[in-house]
């Protein structure tokens, strides 16, 4: 009796193990299929961008309007948080120096009037805005943040920042493309080499040439 019970338990455990193995295999297959589909869609989008930008660039070249007709924002035009902070500090110092120079020209009476604030004219305290947490996965990043994060990856050398353009949804629409940028990502284009990239990347691949596709 005990022997039969042991056999039944062994069979049950074997059946459970088989079910778990099958479920695991199915999940892996589904995951790989989804990844392959995403990669295929991504390549398709990037190839379409390449083709459209090639036509646009050739047309601009014929009209001698390269800079005017190229769509997107140069990566070199974006500044890091450190550069912005340094620039803001410099502007603040210049403003303080200007205000100090103007104040020395005012009479003592005028300064007194300027510095006198009545209770009626005092501004009511402004409500503090809730700052969004930068690590919040649901937060929508600004274009500056997206580009700055991409630059930190060193996918392309800093010397090429002037050659790559970040395309906004409006640029994709202008090119006659039906898709948009993904959340917190931007498609990139180098009009000279026709290299296409994406800031978020897939499986460590950010450029069309890395995916085995090059014009």
Band the pLDDT of 18: cuts 50, 70, 90: low
Q: Is 88 a member of any domain? A: yes
Both tokens assigned to 6: 């042991």
Q: Is 112 a member of any domain? A: no
Note down the domain range covering 198.
41-103+142-215
d(CA 107, CA 114): 11
| Bigger pLDDT: 155 vs 91 | 155
pLDDT in tens, 97-132: 776 666 666 555 555 545 554 555 555 555 555 555
Both tokens assigned to 31: 């995951």
Band the pLDDT of 68: cuts 50, 70, 90: confident
Q: Is 45 a member of any domain? A: yes
Both tokens assigned to 115: 């510095």
pLDDT recorded at residue 36: 42
The Cα diameter of the chain in Å comes to 111
pLDDT recorded at residue 23: 57
Q: 176: helix, coil or strand?
A: coil
Q: Which residues contact 49 (CB under 8 A, 6 or more apart)?
A: 167, 172, 175, 177, 187, 189, 196
């Amino acid at each position: 009796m005990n022997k039969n019970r042991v056999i039944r338990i062994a069979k049950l455990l074997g059946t459970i193990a088989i079910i778990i193995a099958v479920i695991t295999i199915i999940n892996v297959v589904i995951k790989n299929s989804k990844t392959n589909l995403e990669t295929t869609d991504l390549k398709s989008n990037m190839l379409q961008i390449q083709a459209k930008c090639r036509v646009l660039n050739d047309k601009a070249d014929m009209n001698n309007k390269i800079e005017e007709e190229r769509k997107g924002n140069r990566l070199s035009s974006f500044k890091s948080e450190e550069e912005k902070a340094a620039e803001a500090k410099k502007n603040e110092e210049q403003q303080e120096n200007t205000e100090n120079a103007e104040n020395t020209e005012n009479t003592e009476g005028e300064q007194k009037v300027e510095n006198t604030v009545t209770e009626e004219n005092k501004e009511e305290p402004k409500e503090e805005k809730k700052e969004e947490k930068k690590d919040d996965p649901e937060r929508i990043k600004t274009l500056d943040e997206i580009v700055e994060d991409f630059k930190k990856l060193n996918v392309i050398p800093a010397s090429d920042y002037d050659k790559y353009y970040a395309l906004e949804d409006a640029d994709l629409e202008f090119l006659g493309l039906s898709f948009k940028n993904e959340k917190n990502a931007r498609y990139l284009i180098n009009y000279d080499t026709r290299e296409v990239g994406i800031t978020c990347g897939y499986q460590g691949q950010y450029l069309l040439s890395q995916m085995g596709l090059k014009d």
